[in-house]
Structure 1
Amino acid sequence: MSQLPVPERRVLSLHTTLGSDPVELKCSTLYYPVSCAKDGLTLVFTHGIASHKEQYDPTIVRLLSHAQTRAIIRDIWVLDFPNHGQTALLNRPVLDARKAAGKAMCTTADIALYLQAFLSTPSLKSSTVVGVAHSGSCTLWVFALTSMPPSLTPFALIMVEPTLMFPSLTPTDPRAIHGAANVRGCLAKRDRWTEREALKRWLVGGKGVWRKWDERVLSGYVKYGFEEVIESELDAGKRKSHVTPTLRKDEESPLYACLSHTVEPESLGRACRAVEEAGRGVHVVWAEFEEFISKTARKEILDAAEHRVVSQRTIKGAGHLVPQEKPDALGEALVEILDEIVHGSGDTKAKM
């Protein structure tokens, strides 16, 4: 196997808005220069809430381990939300200043405009974009597509466990139950550890979701999803510090609210039509275990998408957090989907 491309860390400046205020936000990205194919695909990965761009490292390694797949990809971009991961450290002065002024925090609508600003950068000019979104970031793509000019519409969109909700959502829907629990639980959860090793032991030692994560993804989370905060400088060159998430709890909690991921069914239908007209349409990857999205919810999403979803797949043994739990299986699924996007091979609507 030929050597895989080494990702470059690039920081872009995006002119966008938070609320109604124009701002300049930084965007920390991973850029993979994959091939010299001028007509190759440009993959743009977006992560779910409370995650970060490096969660996709194992998935991308698996994806690029296939020589035939590398040949159809020109490059890959992976980006953080503006208040997540390493990007949060760059934007913290702006975010904290808004918080001190009593202004609204970064919403899913704000992040959708941030995504649109990213797609508008010269770096992606003339690119054949394929979006790859997990969980809550699927909402961002749908929001963005409602106001996106045709020139920015992706050639294809791959949604992994999309947490799309509609105004008709009932309180008994698992999405509503888990969303409300996350809003409450987020504010009450622990957010301070003495050092990263203590953090990692806490993550895998409890009853939380992290016990099921792939070790590579977990290590990346500990490294890139948290920061060391210096509390004071002590004598003899020592210092007192603690480790805390780069995404603050009061910023994370509102992002789980159902309204943050509620779209009109017509908006999803229009988004799917737009991507279909731009290229090869929308593809969906589901988890085997219905932790968050039930069969009923899947049907609602497919109905609202006007049954324009080109293909569906299920990742065996995975819960909602597919990239964290089954990164290699997700990489293999993406290999198949990208092959279909380029070559149009087969009808996989029933590939469940």
Structure 2
Amino acid sequence: MSLPGELHVYDPRPEYPFQIAAKKYIPKRSTEDGYTLILSHGTGYHKEQWEPALERLFELAEEGGFPIREAWGIDCPNHGDSAVLNAKVLQWGYSKLFDWHEYGRSIHLFLTGYQNGYFSHRKLIGIAHSMGAVGMTLSTTYFPKVKFDRLVFCEPMMFPPGGPKLDLATGAEKRRDIWPSKQEAFDWLSNRSAFKIWDKRVLKRFCEDGMTDLPTVNYPDQTEGVTLKCFKVHEAASYGPEPGKFRALEYMGTLYKRFPVHLIFGGINDYLPREVNDAVINAGGGGALSVQRVDGSGHLVVQRKPTELAACISNALQIDISSHQSVEKSKL
């Protein structure tokens, strides 16, 4: 069973070409004065990948942890349900290079424009993984400004100039992306070395919510089976030499001054070397309120250790931030 959620779509066209899909989750003990969690995902994934971790986070809140009113997962424009909505628009050159600024822009538009300012009356906490942390960071650079109570970044994919060199696009382009059914996709992926180490609940969500029936825009002649909502060419395009990951790291020093920021890394440095983690921690002279590591996981901490990750997020949400003096507060 997946965590019950309600799909919402924000359409900012024609000013912005992409529709934005999001899913709203309400805990059993939602508190009116609680916080609204905003979740963004990594490259190749989608908003529902957060559900196992979010379910545990709701449980921890009910056990006396941080008060939660609701949670919203937002799909990147070329991932998940957003990719299905934007399939034709994404043919307009986005299969060659997809700039992560687009994720930041879509997060900002959703938080400022949905239902004429729905989120302006909410106390927001941003929780982001990998590319999603870049998107969340960049969302704070647009006007009008979005005010977060705090931010929790999990394995942020932010790079210093010159490195590291990761060839993730080749793997994306070569991967299998058509199966007879979602169940057969789950069975096949469960036996692949890269997916065996995933939490089975997350893998189930990857198949159930990250795949769609054929035919699709990229496979118009395939009439049977399922394929990925995020076309593999669009995932590969997201791994290209886009500037978002570099700009986000450069901006982190300012972000630390604006908002309380917590960092969570995997205990295993597989995709990103420790010096890249350190570059994020020490950006602009440092300023993260907490740094935690999840044992037994690498970069894909959402996929591999959702329960343990939820515990770390809960820990971060309960840290006293009253002493944080933001730039905005100091200007008053």
Q: Read off the aligned partner of 1:327 and give its amino acid letter.
A: P
The change in CA–CA distance for 1:343 and 1:38 in structure 2 (over 3 A counts) is farther
User: Normalized against structure 2, the TM-score is what?
Assistant: 0.85
Partner of 1:229: 214
Q: Give the deviation of 1:8 after TM superposition.
A: 3.3
Partner of 1:262: 246
Runs of 5+ consecutive residues of structure 2 not aligned to the other structure: 217-221, 324-332
Structure 1 segments unaligned to the other structure (5+ residues):
232-238, 276-280, 345-352
Q: Which amino acid aligns with 1:169?
A: G
Higher strand residue share: 1
Percent identity of equivalent pairs: 23
Matches within 5 A, 1:184-203: 184-203=170-189
**Alignment of 1:72 onto 2:67:** yes
Q: Is the 8 A contact 2:281 2:288 kept in 1?
A: yes
Rounded to whole Å, the distance in 2 between the matches of 1:310 and 1:258 is: 31
SS of structure 2 residue aligned to 1:308: coil
Stretch of structure 1 that moved more, 27-36 or 218-227: 27-36
Offset, 1:71: 6.1
- 2:309 aligned with 1:309: no
Q: Paired residue for 1:28?
A: 22
Using a 3 Å threshold, how does the CA distance of structure 1 residues 59 and 103 change in structure 2: closer, same or farther?
closer
Distance 1:305 1:45, change over 3 A: farther
Q: What amino acid is the match of 2:257?
A: R
Q: Secondary structure at the match of 1:39?
A: coil
CA 1:205/1:59 → structure 2, altered by over 3 Å: closer, same or farther? same
Number of matched residues?
312
Quick check: 1:112 aligned with 2:91?
Answer: no
Which position in structure 2 is the counterpart of 1:219?
Answer: 204
Q: Please report how far the alpha carbon of residue 117 of structure 1 lies from its aligned counterpart in structure 2 after TM superposition.
A: 0.5
Give, in angstroms, the shift of residue 44 of structure 1: 0.5
Q: Is 1:273 matched with 2:262?
A: no
TM-score, structure 1 length as denominator? 0.80
Distance 1:189 1:143, change over 3 A: same
Matches within 5 A, 1:20-169: 22-23=16-17, 25-32=19-26, 35=29, 37-66=31-60, 67-69=62-64, 72-96=67-91, 98=92, 106-120=98-112, 121=114, 122-150=117-145, 152-166=146-160, 168-169=161-162
306-315 vs 335-344, which moves further: 335-344
Kept in 2, the 8 Å contact 1:34–1:75? The answer is: no
Separation (CA, whole Å) in 1 of partners of 2:130 and 2:154:
6
Larger Rg: 1
SS of match in other structure, 2:307: helix
